[in-house]
Structure 1
Amino acid sequence: MDEASLSLIEVLVKSEFGTYMMVATFVFAIREATKVPKKYIPALSIVIGVLLAILEFKGFSFEVLKSGIQNAVWAIAMVFGVKYVQEKKLNKNT
């Protein structure tokens, strides 16, 4: 493994993997159930990420906001990554 891969793994291990997985799951479920346009997914992720961070830290501060936005960014990457893989697989099979 190269150094960039190791630093990514370290970031994943240090961050709260469960929290951004939860944000990604919520966003993915809402996107599939309501067909929210792609342009609203980042804002939706930030709102959900910050709300979950407020619940996790039991209050609001700059660190909570930072954590919520960080979780939202990871969740956005995961949701769009999953959608990309699904579309790529679907196009490959047709």
Structure 2
Amino acid sequence: MMEAILSIEFTAYVALAVLLYAIREATNIPNRYIPIVAVVLGVAFSVFESRAFSFDVLLVGLKYALYGVGSVAMVKYALEKAEGEDK
């Protein structure tokens, strides 16, 4: 179990999620462009990781992007819910 948590794939999508959240908070990029940024960053990281480009590398990059966008949405929802409960 711990090996899966510390695997490169898990680390990659957590890093991507943190990066996407930082980009979302620090810039004025509309939310509709965040998935595009996630795909570009996810595929770029996957290419960097494998040092090649193929269909499988593209799919891994898209997987990273989906995980990252989902994680950012989950954090955003949790923060908004917590703020709503404080009021």
Query: Any unmatched runs of 5+ in structure 2?
Result: none
Identical aligned residues as a percent: 37
Give every structure 1 segment of 4 or more consecutive aligned residues whose post-TM-superposition deviation is greater than 4 Å.
Answer: 12-15
Partner of 2:80: 87
TM value normalised by structure 1: 0.82
Give the equivalent residue in structure 2 for 1:68.
61
Q: Which runs of no fewer than 5 residues in structure 1 stay unpaired? A: 1-8
SS state of the match for residue 16, structure 1?
helix
Query: Is 1:78–2:71 an aligned residue pair?
Result: yes
* Residues 1-22 of structure 1, C-alpha deviations (whole Å, 9 max, x = no match): xxxxxxxx9xx76881011111
What RMSD over aligned residues (CA atoms) do the two structures have, in Å?
A: 1.7
Q: Distance in 1 between matches of 2:28 and 2:21?
A: 10
TM-score normalised by structure 2 residue count: 0.88
Shift of 1:71: 0.6
Equivalences for 1:50-69 in 2 at 5 Å?
50-69=43-62
